[in-house]
Amino acid sequence: MKRFKLGMLVGIIATCFLAVGFMAPNAVSAKMTFVTIGTGGVTGVYYPTGGAISKIVNKKSKVYHLKVTVESTGGSVFNVNAVMAGDLEFGIVQSDRQYQAVHGLKDWKDKGPQKDLRSICSFHPESVVLVAGDDTGIKTFKDIKGHHINIGNPGSGQRGNAIDAMTACGIDWKKDIKAEGLKAVESAKMLQDGRIDAFFYTVGHPNGSIKEATAGKRKVHFVPIEGACIDKLVAKWPYYAKAVIPIKFYTSASNKSDVPTFGVKATFVTSSKVSEKIVYAITKEIFDNLETFKKLHPAFGILTKKNMLEGLSAPLHPGAIKYFKEAGLLKYVDKALLK
Ligand code: GLU
């Protein structure tokens, strides 16, 4: 009897230890927790970026009791809204879209500032790409007038960049071009099939969709997005910077050298409602394993712990702050993000 009681006691203690004690200090909860990252089209760079994060974090799923899954979505604007609605826990979002959401601008003009949006870090740079058929006669940006162009689906990041560039250069996108609102994943085939003259895509390099668009039968080229009107646009907004499309990745395009344009950064966001433990675990795994992470996509080649803290405008999530403090990285953080 005594023995039986002792046995039971040990059993009970062991169960408690497994359920509560064992999860400390790293597990995010006693049970397995699932979180999802909103990305972009499957042929973009966001989708493999989400895949890289999940690969790194899921290696430790037993330690954290955390599984990260990835969802293909319509892009940046969709991701901000889904994270704010609680439909997704994380999203990859263009730095310009993050800024606009935080300040209640553009797509968030009616909804107002997205107060619960929190930043974690940034990833690769993205440039605004305009690919056109050589047979269209589109040589300079202003030549797009009168042409049939995919500017991107309403949930995407590129749509806003295309509209910004056109508006800055005196092109009325509703009247001066025939605008399509299709997802980027469809653009390459549409261009190759001659169903559109050109398309915009804001994306990191190298990228599969752009490779597909440049490697077909129809000869295509990148159209430089430059000039005084673009200089003014870049000077006006903190999130825009001059950029180039590195031609070495797209040797089948007709251009011979890097193509000037402007660009943004891909950033990683979440909501203030997501727990500190979850965000801490994900931040720690990405940063502690940065060299492994960088091998998962060639666009990550230039990433450093320092430049991954640039391009953010939403307050940092407390889970990210906790990790950056521990890792001695807070010195790279803009103090305005520590609210
Ligand atoms: N920048 C694009 C967007 O925000 C997505 C690019 C990608 O999927 O890599 O919609």
Q: Which residue in the block uniquely carries the two structure tokens 């797209």?
A: 250
- Helices 158-168 + 228-236 axis angle, to 10: 120
Confidence band for 26, pLDDT divided at 50, 70 and 90: confident
Mean pLDDT of 20-34: 77
Tell me if 127 sits within 8 A of 259, measured CB to CB: no
Pocket test for ligand 1, best of 45, 199, 211, 212 (most atoms within 8 A of CB): 45
pLDDT at 339: 78
Pocket test for ligand 1, best of 39, 43, 46 (most atoms within 8 A of CB): 46
Mean pLDDT of 280-297: 98
- Distance of alpha carbon 209 from alpha carbon 131, whole angstroms: 11
Q: How far is CA 246 from CA 43, 54, 79, 222, in A?
A: 18, 28, 27, 11
Confidence band for 5, pLDDT divided at 50, 70 and 90: low
Domains of the chain and any CATH numbers? 31-125+266-338 (3.40.190.10), 126-264 (3.40.190.10)
Is the pLDDT at 1 greater than 60? The verdict is no
Q: Which residues does ligand 1 sit against, CB inside 6 Å?
A: 40-41, 44-46, 75-76, 94, 126, 156-158, 202-204
pLDDT digits (tens, 9 = 90+) for 139-191: 999 999 999 999 999 999 999 999 999 999 999 999 999 999 999 999 999 99
pLDDT digits (tens, 9 = 90+) for 71-107: 999 999 999 999 999 999 999 999 999 999 999 999 9
Q: What's the 77 CA to ligand 1 centre distance in angstroms?
A: 10
pLDDT at 13: 47
Pocket test for ligand 1, best of 151, 156, 245 (most atoms within 8 A of CB): 156
Find the angle CA(62)-CA(65)-CA(67) to the nearest 5 degrees: 95
- Distance of alpha carbon 224 from alpha carbon 171, whole angstroms: 16
Residue % of the chain over a pLDDT of 90 = 92
